[in-house]
Structure 1
Amino acid sequence: MTTPDHQSATAKDLTYRSPLALMAGVLLLALAAWLGFDALVHGGGRTPWLALATLILVVPLVIAFTLRPAVFSGEDRLRVRNPFRVITLPWGEVASLRSGYTNEVIDNSGTKYQLWAIPVSLRARKKAARQQSRAQAAAKGEGRSSGPGPGFGIFGGFGGHDGPTRAETDQIMDDLRTAQERRGQAKSAQGEVTVRWAYEVIAPVVAGAVLLAVLLATG
């Protein structure tokens, strides 16, 4: 489940991250720190060196795939922070935002970028579909229309949500599409798509892998 966080890169940006990924990252880092510290302090022979190399390799990977991913939606651009890259797309360069088994943004050249911070939940989609079906059945049974319009909505409350029940990440994608439609033609939302590799993640991973390979090869 992904939720918006107003603590973003700029004051006007909305930040979307996955709470489940953040929780998993914290737990994995705590486990790695516990096991690594124990091996470094109490290990004998080459064990401390192997533990150090493993930590150098594993910790950046855990951070990259759990704590790092985020999507920043601003007035003029969409910034996607994935495990190993940061993609900045002015809204004018966003051709579409597609939801399937993954959520993706596609630029005007046809290049696809996965939104790691907004994972698709098939379970949430099925739950939302069941809720919508129940609401429509209840509305039919009471002789009310479940579609948009004045009166009672699908939740049975006056002035409630008029649209269909949606999974949270699908609703987020709808919000991003709305932002693109609203700002896509703005003069300040034009420019080039930029992609920056996250060398601050890649470098320690490579160093840890090389060190671990050397230690294993010479053991």
Structure 2
Amino acid sequence: MNRILLIEDDAETAEAIVAELADRGFEVQWAGDGVDGLDRARTSSPDAMIVDRMLPGMDGLAVIEALRKDQVRTPVLVLSALGAVDDRVRGLRMGGDDYLTKPFAIIELVARIEALLRRPTDSRETILHVGPLEIDLIERTARRGERELELLPREFRLLEYMMRRNDQLLTRAMLLEEVWNYKFVPATTNLIDVHMGRLRHKVDGPGEVQLIHNVRGSGFVLRSRL
């Protein structure tokens, strides 16, 4: 059973989150202010944390920064009513792993926590490199060599997932579950092929060595070697 630490001062919001996560099999601990939350984070070793940005006693970002200075690498989902790009970037740069703007749907929060728990333990890096590809997870930019890639949000998530698993065969079922958060695989859908086609067109330009390969009948592979 995964243990989640929730640091949230609004009781109504906290109760809704705790109830939903508990129904889904998580063990949830709740702290109502930043000081108590930091102490619980240091002593209870949660598998993931949900931290509100604006907290009494100690700001949520200060809590995260203190944990990162202590070399605590527990994945953190930041909650905030501040939804501007600069606010999100600051939250990620201070050590948050994901950022969710209030108000939000509880089901989206659960999906994001599940995604954080599925991440490899070495996923704290903020810039990924595979061959000539580079993506910046904070600035949300992507490049192939000197060429900037103009990616839509879903394309960016898809490329990030593939770069974290380069040279591995990724089936359509895996991509639907991990990138689209599907809990079941439709009998027939061309969703993956449509998005992959658009991504390949942007990543593999004219005259460039192909990086994204379609393995007929199986899935897709991002090759790390040219």
Q: TM-score, normalised by structure 1?
A: 0.23
**Rg: which structure is higher?**
1
Bigger relative contact order, structure 1 or 2 (CA pairs below 8 A, ≥6 apart): 1
Q: More helix by proportion, 1 or 2? A: 1
